[in-house]
C-alpha cells in the first residue's frame, strides 16, 4: 500500500446547512493534540487522557477563551479507527455559522482542510478497507434505492473483497506449483500434476464467470440502466413516464406529437434504477421540428441498454414497423427490449403476432396506477432483482470492476489453454495476469490515477 498523507486533516462530515447537530472530523497524527487547543471536556480532564471509543460532553472555545459552543467529542486512536489514524469527531449544534466556526478553530490550531473523500482514502491507504469497499461506501452515500443500500453494504462489509481474495490465492497457489515445475523440472518439487493444475484453473474460470454474470444486476441496482421509452405518437409514452415517476413529469395531451425533444429522468422501478429518456413519437412527418425530434429519438435508442417500446392495443401501422425494426436491430446488438402493449382498457385481447421476435411483453393501461406493479415486476425480472435478499454471492457494481474481472477471466482461460497444450511456462505468465487484474480490481496493484478518480467523486468530509 502507498501512503501520501502526512498532515492532520479536518472537515465537516455532515451536510452543510441548518440542522440539529453537525459533525467535524479531525484525523492524523496530531488530531488529539490539535483538538486539545480548543475542545475541553466538562470533566476537566485532558482530551488526551480520555479512553478510546467513548463520547464525552465538551466546551468548544474561541482563542480568547469565550465559549463558541457546547457539544460531544469522541476519540478514536490508531489503529482502531476508520482511517487507521488518531481521529477526533466533534458533534456541535448544526447551525451553518457555528459549524463553520468550529471547523475554523480546528484549522487555526494546526489542521489542514481535507480533500474530497480523503478520510476514506486514508482508510484505504492504511489497509483498513479495500478499493471495492471504498467504492461501496461511496455507493451507500449516493444510493437512490433501498436495493442499492443492500448491495453496497455487502461490498462495504468486504463480501466482494473476500471472494476476489479467494480467487487470487487460488491463482497464486497454482502459480507457485508452475514455478516449481518450470524452474526445477528435474527436482520433482511440484506437488501438483498438470491435470490437477488444469482442474484448479477450471475452478478459477468458473468462479470468475459467475462473478462477471452479476454485473447486470449490480449495474441495474446501483448505477442505473440507460433506458429509452419509444413508440409512435400518442401511444402513451409520456403517461408511462409519469407512471414510473409517480408524478406528472411529462406533458400529456391527446394531440399527437406533443413531445418534441428527449426528456430525461432517473427513477427507481422496483429494485432497478432507470435513467429514462422519454422520446418524441417516431413517425414519418413533414414537420421540420418534429422530424428533428424523431431523429433524436432514433439516436437515443442507439445509446440505451433498455428499450421500452410502447404500442397501442387497438392499432398497428407502418410507424410501429419502424420502431420494431429498430428495436430488433438494437436487440441483436445486445440491448434489452421490453414490449409494452398499452391501452388494454380499450382492447384486452390485442394481436401479439407482430412481436414474435421478442420475449419480454407486458399488457397494461398507463392511465391505471395499479399497473405500476406489472411493469416494475417485469423490469425486476429482466435484471434478476426480484429478491435482493436472496442473492448470496458478491455482486460487481461498476464497469471498472467488471473490466478487471474480464481481464482476469481472459488470463485464466489463457492459462487453461496453455496447460492443455503443455506450455507450462505460458500458463505461468497467464496466471500472473490473473493476479494482476484481481489486484487492480481490489486495489493491491492499482494505479494512482484510478485511485485519484475514484476518490474525487466523494464529498469532502467522507
Determine the CATH number of domain 9-130: 3.30.1360.120
**Sheet strand arrangement including 19-27:** 39-41, 54-61, 67-76, 87-94, 19-27, 9-12, 112-113
List, by residue range, all CATH 3.40.50.300 domains of the chain. Answer: 220-389
- Return the CATH architecture of domain 220-389: 3-Layer(aba) Sandwich (3.40)
Q: What is the reported pLDDT for 246?
A: 74
Domain with CATH 1.20.120.430 in the chain: 135-214+396-442
The set of cell numbers assigned to 332 is 441483436
Q: Greatest CA span in the chain, whole angstroms?
A: 84
Where do the DSSP E strands lie in 119-224? none
Structurally, at CATH architecture level, domain 135-214+396-442 sits in Up-down Bundle (1.20)
- pLDDT tens for 106-147 read 999 999 999 999 999 999 988 999 999 999 999 999 888 888
Reading the block at residue 208, the C-alpha cell is 470468475
Coil/strand/helix, residue 421:
coil
What is the separation, in whole angstroms, between the first and last Cα of the chain? 20
Is 312:280 a contact under the CB 8 Å cutoff?
no
Residue 109 CB contacts under 8 Å (≥ 6 apart), including other chains: 34, 35, 37, 38
Q: Mean pLDDT throughout 388-400?
A: 85
Q: Would you place residue 24 in the very low, low, confident or very high pLDDT band (cuts 50, 70, 90)?
A: very high
Among 188-197, 307-316, 376-385, which is the least confidently predicted range? 188-197
- Spatial separation of the C-alpha atoms in residues 274 and 451, rounded to whole Å: 27
Using CA atoms, how far apart are residues 244 and 242, in angstroms rounded to an integer? 5
Q: Is the model's pLDDT at 281 over the cut of 70?
A: no
Quick count: other Cβ atoms within 10 Å of Cβ 415?
A: 31
- CATH 3.30.1360.120 segments of the chain: 9-130
- For the whole model, what pTM was predicted? 0.82
pLDDT at 160 over 70: yes
Amino acid at each position: 500500500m502507498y501512503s501520501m498523507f502526512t498532515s492532520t486533516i479536518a472537515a465537516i462530515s455532515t451536510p452543510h446547512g441548518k440542522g440539529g447537530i453537525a459533525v467535524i472530523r479531525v484525523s492524523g497524527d496530531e488530531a488529539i493534540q490539535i483538538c486539545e487547543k480548543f475542545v475541553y471536556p466538562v470533566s476537566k480532564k485532558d482530551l488526551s487522557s480520555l479512553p478510546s471509543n467513548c463520547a464525552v460532553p465538551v466546551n468548544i472555545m474561541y482563542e480568547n477563551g469565550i465559549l463558541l459552543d457546547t457539544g460531544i467529542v469522541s476519540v478514536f486512536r490508531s489503529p482502531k479507527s476508520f482511517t487507521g489514524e488518531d481521529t477526533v469527531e466533534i458533534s456541535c449544534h448544526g447551525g451553518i455559522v457555528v459549524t463553520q466556526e468550529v471547523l475554523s478553530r480546528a484549522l487555526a490550531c494546526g489542521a489542514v482542510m481535507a480533500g474530497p473523500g480523503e478520510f476514506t482514502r486514508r482508510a484505504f491507504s492504511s489497509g483498513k478497507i479495500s478499493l471495492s469497499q471504498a467504492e461501496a461506501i461511496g455507493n451507500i452515500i449516493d444510493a437512490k434505492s433501498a436495493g442499492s443500500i443492500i448491495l453496497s453494504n455487502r461490498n462495504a462489509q468486504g463480501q466482494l473483497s473476500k471472494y476476489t481474495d479467494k480467487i487470487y490465492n487460488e491463482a497464486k497457489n497454482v502459480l507457485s506449483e508452475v514455478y516449481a515445475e518450470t524452474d526445477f523440472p528435474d527436482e520433482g518439487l511440484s506437488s501438483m500434476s498438470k491435470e490437477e493444475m488444469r482442474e484448479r484453473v477450471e475452478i478459477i474460470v468458473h468462479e470468475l464467470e459467475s462473478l462477471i454474470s452479476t454485473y447486470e444486476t449490480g449495474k441495474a441496482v446501483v448505477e442505473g440502466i440507460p433506458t429509452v421509452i419509444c413508440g409512435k405518437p400518442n401511444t402513451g409514452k409520456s403517461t408511462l413516464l409519469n407512471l414510473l415517476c409517480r408524478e406528472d413529469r411529462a406533458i400529456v395531451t391527446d394531440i399527437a406529437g406533443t413531445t418534441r425533444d428527449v426528456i430525461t429522468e432517473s427513477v427507481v422501478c422496483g429494485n432497478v434504477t432507470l435513467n429514462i429518456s422519454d422520446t418524441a413519437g417516431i413517425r414519418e412527418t413533414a414537420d421540420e421540428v418534429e422530424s428533428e425530434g424523431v431523429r433524436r429519438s432514433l439516436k437515443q435508442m442507439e445509446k440505451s441498454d433498455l428499450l421500452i417500446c410502447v404500442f397501442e392495443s387497438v392499432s398497428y401501422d407502418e410507424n410501429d414497423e419502424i420502431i420494431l425494426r429498430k428495436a430488433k436491430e438494437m436487440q441483436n446488438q445486445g440491448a434489452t427490449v421490453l414490449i409494452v402493449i398499452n391501452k388494454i382498457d380499450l382492447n384486452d385481447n390485442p394481436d401479439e403476432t407482430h412481436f414474435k421476435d421478442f420475449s419480454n411483453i407486458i399488457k397494461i393501461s398507463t392511465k391505471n396506477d395499479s399497473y405500476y406493479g406489472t411493469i416494475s415486476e417485469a423490469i425486476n425480472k429482466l435484471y434478476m432483482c426480484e429478491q435482493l435478499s436472496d442473492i448470496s454471492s458478491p455482486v460487481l457494481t461498476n464497469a471498472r470492476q467488471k473490466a478487471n474481472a474480464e481481464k482476469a477471466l481472459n488470463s485464466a482461460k489463457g492459462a487453461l489453454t496453455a496447460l492443455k497444450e503443455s506450455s507450462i511456462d505460458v500458463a505461468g505468465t497467464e496466471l500472473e495476469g490473473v493476479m494482476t487484474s484481481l489486484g487492480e480490481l481490489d486495489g493491491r496493484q492499482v494505479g494512482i490515477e484510478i485511485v485519484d478518480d475514484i476518490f474525487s467523486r466523494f464529498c469532502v468530509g467522507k
